[in-house]
Amino acid sequence: MLRVPFDEMKGLFRRILVSRGLEEGEAETLACIVATNSLEGVYSHGTNRFPRLVHDIECGTVDKDAKVEKVIQAGSMECWNGHFGIGPLNAWKAMERATELAHEHGMGLVALGWNNHWLRGSTYGRLAAERGCIGICWSNTKPNMPVWGGTVPKIGNNPLIISVPKADGAHFVFDSAMSQYSYGKLEEYRLKGEMLPFAGGFDDEGRLTSDPAVIEHNGRMLPIGLWKGSGLSIALDLIATVLSGGASVTQIGQMGNERGLTQIMIAIEADRLGGGKDVDRIVSTILGDLKSGEAVRYPGERLERTRKENLEAGIPVDERIWAQIEELGAGC
């Protein structure tokens, strides 16, 4: 396992993206998003995903020249069209706008249709928290999980993110796919040659399995909460498609490549209502009580420690993945 300094990683990503036709500013922002994902320990949506992102740009699945467009405004709500552009950049702009609307109205919502994969959803939850907002956001995906009781993938492992700000920056950030493990996490375990710590899906005979390669191959992922996760996945897809006028999970599946995804960004000004100036005390008290007397973590807490460790020692990178990235950057 290699260790790569953050600035070196981000710089290589930026040069590769510029060489593929991105503007300098956009390449810098996108490189920072991808490198930060790995810096904070989410390698499946950082370095591991970067070669695929470059491939999607090269083959036109992602239109690098497309500009996101606001098509409807209704008070504190807006509807945007991503025009199959660069998913993380469009999603970042959408959450930025949602926080602006929240500071104006108390709550803001941007429904972003016809976008592409946003990489790591907690990126946008943390963005809302950094701006003093409660963040709620989710994305739909291609059909990659069976409805509970079925065997054919028809619903998405649609990630849902909920964030709550803390004054010290150690925000509460809950980020969960509707499947027990995301496909990126399955890939991460497979590349390490490890089994999943808990069952993540079913094998071809319908038995629970912890083998990531089997689940990747047959797509029979285990929903969180069994039938409850299945139902929540459907609900998120319904709401996202209705609000955005974009593509549903079914429609995304019919397009061949996973593109044209729909994302919802909601920001709520945290101190606007009952908590007022006591928001941080309330949040700190609740989270502190969870940890009293037990060695447990709340969602998002480990991130700051991982970030510090990786800044000091370098970001862990699978040697095979890094070789692919260096090849993409040859001559840049």
Indicate the pLDDT class of residue 332, thresholds 50, 70 and 90.
confident
**Cβ neighbour number for residue 88 with a 10 Å cutoff:** 23
pLDDT above 70 covers a percentage of the chain that reads 100
Indicate the pLDDT class of residue 3, thresholds 50, 70 and 90.
very high
Residues with Cβ < 8 Å from 264, sequence gap 6 or more?
A: 109, 110, 111, 112, 136, 137, 138, 139, 239, 240, 243, 244
CA dist., res. 129 & res. 132, Å (int):
5
267 forms bridges with which residues in the sheet? 108, 135
**Closest Cα partner for 249 from 122, 146, 124?**
146
Indicate the pLDDT class of residue 294, thresholds 50, 70 and 90.
confident
Q: How far is CA 122 from its chain centroid?
A: 6
CA dist., res. 122 & res. 304, Å (int):
13
What confidence tens digit (pLDDT) does each residue in 235-289 have? 999 999 999 999 999 999 999 889 999 999 999 999 999 989 999 999 999 999 9
> Which element (helix H / strand E) includes 137?
strand 133-139
Residues with Cβ < 8 Å from 59, sequence gap 6 or more?
A: none
pLDDT above 90 covers a percentage of the chain that reads 91
**Mean pLDDT value of segment 63-91:** 98
Indicate the pLDDT class of residue 291, thresholds 50, 70 and 90.
confident
- Single-letter residue type at 243: L
261 forms bridges with which residues in the sheet? 115
CA dist., res. 138 & res. 125, Å (int):
10
**For residue 97, what pLDDT is reported?**
98
Residues with Cβ < 8 Å from 251, sequence gap 6 or more?
A: 260
- Single-letter residue type at 296: V
Q: Is the pLDDT of residue 175 over 80?
A: yes
Q: Is the pLDDT of residue 135 over 90?
A: yes
- Single-letter residue type at 302: R
**Closest Cα partner for 115 from 91, 79, 144?**
91
Indicate the pLDDT class of residue 84, thresholds 50, 70 and 90.
very high
What confidence tens digit (pLDDT) does each residue in 184-229 have? 899 989 988 999 999 999 999 999 999 999 999 999 999 999 999 9
69: left (phi over 0), alpha (psi -120 to 50) or beta: beta
DSSP state of 187: H
**For residue 69, what pLDDT is reported?**
98
Catalytic residue (choose from 45, 103, 105, 217): 45
- What does residue 135 show for φ and ψ, rounded to 5 degrees? -115, 135
109 forms bridges with which residues in the sheet? 77, 266
Catalytic residue flag (residue 45): yes
Calculated CA dihedral for residues 78, 142, 124, 116, nearest 10 degrees = -70
Indicate the pLDDT class of residue 295, thresholds 50, 70 and 90.
confident
**Residue 284, both tokens:** 């700190």
Q: How far apart are the first and last CA of the chain?
A: 24
Q: Are 265 and 124 in contact (CB under 8 A)?
A: yes
**For residue 257, what pLDDT is reported?**
86
Supply the mean pLDDT for the chain: 96
**Residue 203, both tokens:** 């094998």
Q: Is this structure's pTM higher than 0.85?
A: yes
**Closest Cα partner for 185 from 198, 172, 168?**
198
Helix/strand/coil for 2 = strand
Residues with Cβ < 8 Å from 149, sequence gap 6 or more?
A: 227
CA dist., res. 138 & res. 199, Å (int):
24
**For residue 320, what pLDDT is reported?**
93
Indicate the pLDDT class of residue 21, thresholds 50, 70 and 90.
very high
